[in-house]
Every structure is written in structure tokens, then in C-alpha cells.
Amino acid sequence: LRSCTSAAERKDGGASKREKQYQAHQAFGDRRDGVVSARTYFYANEAKCDLHMETFLRCIEASGGASDDGFSAIKLTALGRPQFLLQFSDVLIKWRRFFHQMAAEQGKAGLDAMDTKLEVAALQESVARMGIASRKEIEDWFRAETLGVSGTLDLLDWNSLVDSRTELSKHLVVPNMQTGQLEPLLSGFTEEEEQQMRRMLQRMDVLAKKATEAGVRLMVDAEQTYFQPAISPLTLEMQRKFKVEKPFFFNTYQCYLRDAYDNVTLDLELARREGWCFGAKLVRGAYMAQERARAAEIGYEDPINPTYEATNAMYHRCLNYVLEELKNNGKAEVMVASHNEDTVRFTLRRMEELGLHPADRQVYFGQLLGMCDQISFPLGQAGFPVYKYVPYGPVMEVLPYLSRRALENNSVMKGARRERQLLWQELKRRLYTGNLFYRPA
């Protein structure tokens, strides 16, 4: 847990200033608990992070050597102290909640993220009244960033005010709506912590440059909700920085989250406005049991959709939004990472309706190695780009993950009537025809 708190927080108990969700808790210190379908990294020291980076670099080389159109996956918790992801997540979520609180004051609560717009004059008056800055300073900020010229401000405009490119980044405070006091969003870093943070970003940059040189797309894995608000902007910054004709960086969206659709629409709109290529990997999610247990134990709102059906609906809603963007704009690509046959059928149907062709190579399908071959093989034979997720790394580090996957596969296969039926049919066909070994044409 020490790697999840700063020196200043350990000295004065500053972690308590964070939202409950973004504090480190002893009971959930082992992030592997309840997680079988995702690799978990723990911070040891900076040298270990460098070793993880070297492993990712070798994986990129292997992927680039095997294919002209390969993918490689990375996790940001492998590249630095999780403390920074927790702190930045807390900052960004507080800033977003402040926006929605202001929207509620203007009678605009409950709308989808991109439909929520604040009246600029009322916003400036409220911010000045709270003492964040003078009315003139606020007007200067808005004018410098050409924000609110239409008289309204949306969440993307609001987010840009805390971007490092604006003066407001020097005034990272937010009103506590309960106490009415202005609170700093970030506690001070020690010199060593600042260096560690810079090294984490440098490792990302090294991987990004290597991937673009090798022609390999990087999929940045989604992680727990207390890390993800920081992970997504860092991934989007890589998409923005390495502007090319196709996305080299894919942000992962976990559709079992209640806010998945808002996150997809906001990020895609940001890419559209700034003119860079958007890459998305859609998954259902890997941390459901852990996330629900943590929310219940610590006492914050469950971030997970209430039912499996709601998650399916969320997945299809997010996917449909991206597919329509492909049809209308084309500067986007999506990885449909799913073992769900209904989701694959939905994707194929919408692609046909929208006139999206497999040869365009904008829609990819992905499954885990050894799972759901009855989906992967027919898709590949029909000309769709299909990928198998292969664990990569030192054997002794990969084995614990593989053992958890084996246990998961065992439980999945107990109820996988469809797969057992297909396997039995294929076995009988080969026995009856004498064609025991598959020989592709």
C-alpha cells in the first residue's frame, strides 16, 4: 500500500482528503483477489518498472516480426507508482463532479455527458463568487482558450481548463460543496516522486515510439475504476501526440461500467474536434467482483451496471456509436474484444447495414488464445481481421496468470454447452469421414 500514497500523505494523513474511491485500503491491497482474466502488476521499485518496459518492448518486436498489422497490450500500473494514477484520478473526477454540480444548479442534471452544457455567464459568476479567481482572470482564461464563444460550455471545454496548456493548471483547487472551502487537488510531491512520475511518462513515450517504428498498435489495458480516470487521458494524449492516418493507440473501455457510454462519446468527440485518429478496444470488464466488493465495503456508489443484460446493452450502445463514427468520419478504429456470439452477430449486422467492409480493416475482433475458436475461425475465414490474445513475458511471472485462466476456463467449460456440442460434432465428423487431421486448403 505504500506505493499508493505519497510521502506528504503519509506524513500528515492527506490521503483522507481524497474521495473514498481513490484512497488506498488495506483490505483491497492485493488487486489479484477476484480477478482471473487480467494480469496484475505491483510496484516494487523503478528498476522493476524498467524491466516491465523491456518486456513490453520485446513483445512489440515479436508482434511486429510476426505481422504487418499486429497489436500489443500494455498496462500502465507496470510502468510506475500507482500513487500517481490514484491521485490524478481523484483530481479529474472531482473536477468533473464540480462541472455536474454546476450543471445541476443550472437545472441541467441527468443528461448524457455530451448533452450537458453550462451557460458561460452563469458559470463565470459562480466561479468568481467561490473565490477561485477574479472575474477578469476567469474571462481572460476563457478568451485565451477561445472557450464559451457560443455562450455555452460543455464537459470537453471544461476539461481543457485543467490541461497543462492553460493557466488554470496553476490554480488546481476545487470547492468542497459540503464545507464551502477551496481545497487543493494535489498534495505536494517530493523531488523523488516528481522524478518517478516523469520516468513513468518517459516509459510510455519509449513504448509509443517503438510501436510506431515497428508498425504495431498498442492497446492500453483498462484497470480498476480508481486508476482508470488517469489512464484514459494519458492514452488519449498518446493518440493526440502520434497523429497518423490510423490510430496506433487503443484505449480500452469496460462496458460493465455505468459511465462507459459517456466516456466513449466524450473521447471520440475530443478526437473529432482535434483531428486525430481514435482507437477503442471494447470489453465487458475484468474486475466486476472486486469492484462491487470494494464499493460495498468502503461505502461509495457501485460503478458496475446492475445486470448482465444492462452490460450487454451498454456494450452494444458503445459499439454502435463507434461504428456510426466509422461510417460518417472514418478516422477511427475499434477492437471488438468479446467472446459473446450475440455481440459478434450484432457487429456483423451493423457493419453490413452501415456499409463497412472487412477489407477496410477498421473493425477488428479479438478473443483469448484457447477460447471461443468457434467464433475466431469462421470470422477469419470470412475475411475479417481476427486476433488472439497471447500472454507474453517471463515464464515465472506469466504462470500465475495462466493458472488463474485455467481455473476460469474450467468453470466456463462446465457450462459451455455450445462449445461442447460443437467439439463433439466436429469429432464425430472427423471419425466418420476419416479426416482426423485438419489440413487448411
Tell me if 147 is assigned to some domain.
Answer: yes
SS3 of 365, please? Answer: strand
Which of 60-64, 117-121, 137-141, 220-224 is predicted least confidently? 137-141
In sequence order, the 6+-apart residues with CB closer than 8 A to the CB of 83 are 3, 4, 5, 6, 193
SS3 of 297, please? Answer: helix
In 83-178, at which residue ranges do the beta strands (DSSP E only) sit? 117-119, 152-154, 173-175
Given this model, what pLDDT does residue 178 score?
Answer: 60
- The three cell numbers of residue 108 are 441541467
Distance (Å, whole) CA 306 – CA 283: 17
Tell me if 19 is assigned to some domain.
Answer: no
- Its domain, for residue 151, covers 89-184
Tell me if 295 is assigned to some domain.
Answer: no
Tell me if 117 is assigned to some domain.
Answer: yes
Asked whether the predicted pLDDT for residue 221 surpasses 90, the reply is: yes
Given this model, what pLDDT does residue 393 score?
Answer: 76
pLDDT band at residue 119 under the 50/70/90 scheme: confident
Tell me if 164 is assigned to some domain.
Answer: yes
Chain centroid to CA 153: 25
Give the global pTM. Answer: 0.82
- The three cell numbers of residue 430 are 472427423
Q: What are phi and psi of 14, to 5 degrees?
A: -65, -15
Given this model, what pLDDT does residue 166 score?
Answer: 43
| Number of residues written out for the chain | 441
Distance (Å, whole) CA 71 – CA 217: 5
Contact 379, 365 (CB under 8 A): yes
pLDDT cut 90: percent of the chain above it: 39
Tell me if 116 is assigned to some domain.
Answer: yes
Which of 238-252, 342-356, 371-385, 394-408 is predicted least confidently? 394-408
Which of 109-113, 198-202, 309-313 is predicted least confidently? 109-113
Asked whether the predicted pLDDT for residue 243 surpasses 50, the reply is: yes
* pLDDT tens readout for residues 246-275: 899 999 999 999 999 999 999 999 999 889
Given this model, what pLDDT does residue 334 score?
Answer: 97
Given this model, what pLDDT does residue 330 score?
Answer: 80
Given this model, what pLDDT does residue 372 score?
Answer: 81
Q: Dihedral, CA atoms, 125, 182, 260, 154, nearest 10 degrees?
A: 20
Distance (Å, whole) CA 43 – CA 312: 34
Number of structural domains the chain divides into: 1
* pLDDT tens readout for residues 10-60: 566 555 566 776 676 666 555 556 555 566 777 778 999 999 999 999 999
Contact 172, 185 (CB under 8 A): yes
pLDDT, mean over the chain:
81
pLDDT cut 70: percent of the chain above it: 76
Provide the residue type at 440 as one letter.
P
Among candidate residues 254, 244, 245, 201, the one with its CA nearest the CA of residue 223: 254
Among candidate residues 163, 116, 122, 115, the one with its CA nearest the CA of residue 141: 163
- 181 or 44, which is more confident? 44
* pLDDT tens readout for residues 130-171: 666 677 777 777 766 666 567 787 888 877 765 544 444 444
Element (H, E) at 236: helix 228-241
Distance (Å, whole) CA 85 – CA 204: 14
